[in-house]
Amino acid sequence: MELLNHLALGFSVALTPVNLLYALTGALLGTLIGVLPGIGPVATIAMLLPTTFTLEPVSALIMLAGIYYGAQYGGSTTSILLNMPGETSSAVTCLDGYQMARQGNAGAALSVAALGSFFAGCVATIMIATVAVPLSEFALNFGPAEYCSLMVLGLVGSVVLAHGSLLKAFAMVILGLLLGIVGTDVGTGTARFVFGIPELADGIGVVSVAMGLFGFAEIISNLESTEKREILTSKLGGMWPTRAQFRQSWPAVLRGTGLGSVLGLFPGGGAMLASFASYALEKKVADDPTRFGKGAIEGVAGPESANNAGAQSSFIPLLTLGIPENAVMALMVGAMTIHSIQPGPQVMTTNPALFWGLIASMWVGNLMLVVLNLPLIGMWIKLLHVPYRVLYPAILLFCAIGVYTTSNATFDVMQTAFFGLIGVLFVKLACEPAPLLLGFVLGPMLEENLRRAMLLARGNALVFVKRPLSLAMLSLAVILLLLIILPHFRKTREQAFRETDS
Amino acid sequence: MPTIRHPKDFFAGLLFAAVGAGAIVISTRYTLGTASHMGPGYFPRMLGLLLGVLGVVLSLRALRLRGEPFAAWKWRPTIVVLGSVVLFGAIVTPLGLVLSTIILIVLSSAASAEFRPREAVVASVLLAAVVVGVFVYGLHLQLPIWPGTK
């Protein structure tokens, strides 16, 4: 019954006209950037962070969350019609979705993707609402040692799940942690790594790092390549899946939802991991795996449900433990801090309207997204016809305004451009930026908790293995690492990424 | 003389090693403290050491593992895109949103191989109207619209 009361409170917040408007804005923007290749939720959320300053905190979070799960809906459209992922989390959808489109089944692929996502979104919302209370209560027992180990686990997770070389991903995490501690040390007031630049005393802005590495670098790399893309819109086919297609899809949707909801909870997880894993699972359980890659509808239904479930359930660690587990959640921490909300288990009790309002808005947002993505699909297809040469300057403009308005300072823009340059360098060196962003956000938190834990333990580092919870989390981190070093798992991981890269 | 077989890893390693070493050198200026009372220099030195070691290992491994060569760095997109954004940041307050938007759009469009000047100008004017509407009137951000209005 308590759950119903919570949800009632949540809906009373989410259904106010203002918050409905922001949920719609988030869903629209999310679909938009999901459809458009070359701009992802990380860059978009970074771009909009400064503008949310004037909003109510709950409205701001509702909109930003909408962008993330909205992008999961939009991303499938581009994958299916263009054979090019609108979002990385829809990359696997290209494999069978585009084949379906070529066979004149694009309509069915699109509606299965949207309906699967909606189902997954509903399940994930209910799951967040049910596990949030016990998890938060559990997390209230965490001391600094547990928090440290949890963050280490999160960072290890992001390394294991990053594309490409493990060593590089590790180095990127450390680099991120180092960037995170630039600025004035909270404990002593010492200015660290500021190189005499007064603006750096407050630290590097998360907006600059995210937008430079994810926004600008992406645009520049796109401009360097001159690939041509072909849009298959002439034969959408019927929008409704046939009875046979429906029968094939729904078990895949169920499996994808389950897998996505669980994987979203894991550090480093979220939409992308969920969709990859779901595709692999569908291929494994299928009677005839050779159909995959040739337009198997399960290959669309599973991953598209999984990525939406994963996107939403990745909010759970943030909302209950205060630990972001992927780059988007790292930015949500930024959004909460702008409004001076310290993410953590106490949010639910100190700010119940915000907490439950955000959760309820996810269900509302998903409902809006089905409407936005099915009847209005034609509008998004038109958007795909806008050439990139017109699109990217507009994206740049919104980015530039977004950064500038963080503090109305030219310095922020220059700082972002600097990270853009670094981002291009990372692309050239094949270094994945997501672990860096996570390290960057966790840097100050990790240091603070490490100091506190060591102070409480009088300098004895064994405290991390003496406390059972902390030990459990560290062991999990070690197991993750071992798994990846073991040859078998390593091969599967490399294969999973290769399939979608090609 | 060993050869670099994996240039991407090799140079990434060098970069990490250099940043790690730099972090250690700079943080010697901050108090180290003890394990129970960590000073501001403790954590950065730990990180610097880790990053340095990772970098060296990565570079050394690159002498043995084989990898793709570098893709050529085409400088035009990098310079034009980042340059026009920095310029925007510098001129938006003195010149106002409208003019800076037009300048940013037209300049940055030139980064594309398919640059069409007339299209860029038209797009820039339309976008200027959109951003003024959205950011100044819609979101009430403190941005001047025309030169000298602030």
Give tens-digit pLDDT for A72-111: 888 898 888 888 777 778 888 888 998 898 888 888 999 9
Of the ranges B73-77, B129-133, B138-142, which one carries the lowest mean pLDDT score? B138-142
Per-residue model confidence (pLDDT) at position A367 = 94
User: Which residue in B37, B44, B77 is closest to A181 by CB distance?
Assistant: B44
Interchain proximity A224–B74, CB inside 8 Å: yes
Q: In this predicted structure, what is the pLDDT of residue B84?
A: 94
Residue contact A459–B27, C-beta within 8 A: no
- Type of residue numbered A345: P
Mean pLDDT, chain A, as a whole number?
87
How many contacts does A have with B, using Cβ atoms within 8 A?
Answer: 195
CA distance B148 to chain A (A): 16
Tell if the CB–CB gap between B108 and A393 is shorter than 8 Å: yes
Cβ contact B30–A190 (<8 Å): yes
Point out which residues pair with B38 in neighbouring strands: B33
Query: What pLDDT sits at residue A474?
Result: 92
Tokens 């950011």 belong to B135
For residue A502, is pLDDT > 50? no
Question: Choosing among A32, A177, A208, A390, which should be mutated to test the B contact, i.e. which has the most B CBs within 10 A?
Answer: A390
Averaged confidence pLDDT in chain B? 89
- State which residue of chain B sits closest to A426, comparing Cα positions: B12
pLDDT band at A280 (very low <50, low <70, confident <90, very high): confident
Tell me what ipTM this predicted complex has: 0.93
Would you state the pLDDT for residue B13? 94
Between the CA of residue B93 and those of A44, A220, A409, A410, B98, what are the distances in Å? 23, 26, 9, 9, 11
- Which residue is associated with the tokens 């938190």? A445
| CB-based contacts of A459-467 (< 8 A; 24+ apart in sequence) | A459/B34, A459/B35, A459/B36, A459/B37, A460/B35, A461/B35, A463/A145, A464/A145, A464/A148, A464/A149, A467/A143, A467/A145, A467/A146
Using alpha carbons, select from A11, A267, A450 the residue that is nearest to residue B46. A450
CA dist A312 and A316 (Å) reads 8
Q: Do the Cβ atoms of B86 and A447 come within 8 Å?
A: no
pLDDT score at A87: 78
8 Å CB contact of A181 and B82: no
Give CA–CA dist B39/B103, Å, rounded.
48
Task: Specify whether the CB–CB gap between A430 and B8 falls below 8 A.
Answer: yes
- Residue in the structure block whose two tokens are 């180990």: A149
Separation in Å, CA of A299 to nearest CA in chain B: 31
Q: What values do phi and psi take at A253, rounded to 5?
A: -65, -45
The stretch A354-375 carries a mean pLDDT of 91
A56 Cα to chain B: minimum distance (Å): 13
For testing contact with chain A, the best of B14, B28, B36, B81 (most A CBs within 10 A): B81
DSSP string, A190-255: -EES-TT-GGGGG---HHHHHIIIIIIHHHHHHHH---------TT---SSPPHHHHHHHHHHHHH
> In this complex, do B73 and A447 lie within 8 Å of one another by their Cβ atoms?
no
Give the pLDDT band (50/70/90) at residue A373.
Answer: confident
Q: Which residue has the higher pLDDT, A492 or A467?
A: A467
Asked whether residue B134 carries a pLDDT value surpassing 90, the answer given is no
Q: Is A464 on the interface with B (CB under 8 A)?
A: no
Q: What is the 3-state secondary structure (H, E, C) of A172-206?
A: HHHHHHHHHCCEECCCCCCEECCCCCHHHHHCCCH
pLDDT exceeds cutoff 70 at B149: no
pLDDT, position A16: 95
Cβ separation of A397 and B74 shorter than 8 Å?
no
> Are B44 and A193 a contacting pair at CB < 8 A?
yes
Find chain B residues with C-beta within 8 A of A417's C-beta.
Answer: 82, 85-86, 89
Average pLDDT over residues A171-191: 91
Q: What pLDDT, in 10s, does the model give residues A193-208?
A: 988 888 898 889 888 9
What is the pLDDT at residue A498? 57
Average pLDDT over residues A146-171: 84
From chain B, the residues in CB contact with A400 under 8 A are 85, 88-89, 92, 104
* A211 CA: distance to closest CA in chain B (Å): 12
Tens-place pLDDT, residues A291-317: 888 889 999 999 999 999 999 999 998
Distance (Å, whole) CA A173 – CA A500:
24
The token duo for B116 is 């069409």
Given a cut of 50, whether residue A472 has pLDDT beyond it is yes
Query: CB within 8 A of A439, min separation 6: which ones?
Result: A155, A172, A173, A174, A175, A176, A177, A179, A180
A 184-213 residues inside an 8 A Cβ radius of B: 185, 187-188, 190, 192-193
Q: How many CB atoms within 10 Å of residue A104?
A: 14
**pTM of this prediction?**
0.87
Contacts of B19 in chain A (CB under 8 A): 175, 178
- Average the pLDDT over A372-383 and give the result: 84
pLDDT in tens, A11-35: 999 999 999 999 999 999 999 988 8
Reply yes or no on whether the pLDDT at A500 is more than 60.
no
Please state the φ and ψ torsions of residue A184, each to the nearest 5 degrees.
Answer: -80, 130
C-alpha distance from residue A98 to each of A93, A233, A345, A421 (Å): 8, 11, 43, 34
**pLDDT mean over A182-192:** 87
Residue corresponding to tokens 């409704």: A240
Instruction: Give the whole-number percent of chain A exceeding pLDDT 90.
Output: 34
Per-residue confidence (pLDDT) for residue A234, from 0 to 100: 58
Those residues whose C-beta lies under 8 Å from the C-beta of residue A392, and which sit 6 or more positions away, are: A38, A219, A222, A223, B108, B111, B112
Given a contact cutoff of 8 angstroms between Cβ atoms, the answer to whether B125 and B117 are in contact is: no
R_g over Cα of chain A? 22
**Binary contact (A220, B77; C-beta < 8 A):** yes
Asked if B109 and B85 count as a contact pair (C-beta separation under 8 A), the reply is no
Which residue do the tokens 């001076």 mark?
A340
Chain B interface test: which of A396, A408, A447 (most B C-beta within 10 Å): A396
pLDDT at B60: 92
Distance from CA of A53 to the nearest CA of B (A): 10
Give A83-126 as a DSSP string.
SS-SSGGGTTHHHHHHHHHHTT-HHHHHHHHHHHHHHHHHHHHH
**Nearest CB partner across the interface for A223, out of B77, B84, B140:** B77
Contact flag A167-B89 (C-beta cutoff 8 Å)? no
Q: Is there a contact between A235 and A108 (Cβ–Cβ < 8 Å)?
A: no
Residues of chain B with C-beta less than 8 angstroms from the C-beta of A181 = 43-44, 47
Q: Is A166 a residue whose pLDDT tops 50? A: yes
Give the rounded percent of residues in chain B with a pLDDT score beyond 70. Answer: 97
pLDDT grade, residue A58 (50/70/90)? very high
User: What pLDDT shows up at residue A300?
Assistant: 92
